[in-house]
């Protein structure tokens, strides 16, 4: 069970106790109550991440819940019926008040600690940054100054920097 999902003890449908059982080659929490058949699949949640290019530089942001000095990519959840390339542009607009100029797919990455599938895009954007309530601060970096962190969004940044012909260095792991 990931820290982002509840640890089910009882069935959310019928309140019977759940038991572990191999289902689809993975151990799942299942309900044995007659007529119920609930299975907690614990599928990963899709999340979009933006490598924001603003004023010819990389823009990284710090979430209000993170400690000072911890900056990363802008991320967010998809809305119902929203495509990932639409979601990532919406997140840049909502969180930074910037006008996205498109979204180019970088790759997809697993973020196991949160049971998420990160879908990363390069998003060039223009305008004046105005942070929403989710972000505490931001910083610009020249592309060659950027280093990546050993996690899903860090690997997305690494892959994008490499696509620009750069050889970014990894920084030591740090958890917000």
- Read off the DSSP letter of residue 86: H
Residue 126 backbone class (left: φ over 0; alpha: ψ -120 to 50; beta: rest): beta
Q: Is 3 helix (H, G, I), strand (E, B) or coil?
A: coil
Look-up: residue for tokens 């151990």? Answer: 27
Question: Which of 4, 99, 80, 87 has its CA nearest to residue 50?
Answer: 87
Instruction: Indicate if 18 and 84 belong to the same structural domain.
Output: no
- DSSP letter, residue 17: B
Per-residue pLDDT, 22: 94
Q: Is residue 174 included in any domain, yes or no? A: no
Q: What is the rounded end-to-end Cα distance, in angstroms, of the chain?
A: 20
State whether 117 and 141 are in the same domain: yes
Residues 62, 137 contacting (CB under 8 angstroms): yes
Regarding whether 69 and 11 lie in a shared domain, the answer is no
Q: Which regions of the chain are under pLDDT 50? A: 1
Range of the domain at 132: 45-163
- Residue 175 confidence (pLDDT): 63
Q: What pLDDT is stored for residue 1 in this prediction?
A: 46
**38, 111: one domain:** no
Q: How many domains in the chain?
A: 2
- Contacts of residue 129, defined as CB under 8 A and 6 or more positions apart, other chains included, come to 54, 59, 96, 97, 98, 138
The pTM score is 0.89
Regarding whether 51 and 37 lie in a shared domain, the answer is no
Q: Tell me, yes or no, whether 60 lies in a domain.
A: yes
Predicted local confidence at residue 45, as pLDDT = 96
Contact 143, 150 (CB under 8 A): no
For residues 67 and 35, membership in a common domain is answered with no
């Amino acid at each position: 069970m990931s820290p982002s999902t509840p640890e089910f003890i009882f069935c959310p449908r019928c309140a019977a106790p759940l038991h572990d059982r191999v289902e689809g080659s993975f151990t799942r929490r299942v309900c044995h109550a007659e007529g119920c058949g609930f299975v907690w699949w614990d599928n990963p949640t899709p999340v979009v991440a933006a490598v924001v290019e603003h004023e010819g530089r990389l823009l990284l942001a710090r979430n209000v819940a993170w400690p000072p000095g911890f900056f990363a990519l802008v991320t967010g959840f998809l809305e119902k019926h929203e495509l990932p390339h639409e979601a990532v542009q919406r997140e840049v607009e909502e969180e930074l008040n910037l006008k996205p100029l498109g979204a180019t797919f970088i790759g997809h990455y697993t973020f196991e600690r949160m049971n998420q599938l990160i879908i990363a895009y390069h998003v060039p954007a223009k305008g004046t940054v105005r942070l929403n309530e989710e972000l505490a601060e931001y910083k610009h970096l020249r592309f060659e100054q950027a280093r990546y962190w050993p996690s899903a969004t860090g690997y997305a940044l690494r892959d994008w920097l490499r696509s620009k012909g750069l050889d970014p260095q990894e920084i030591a792991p740090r958890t917000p």
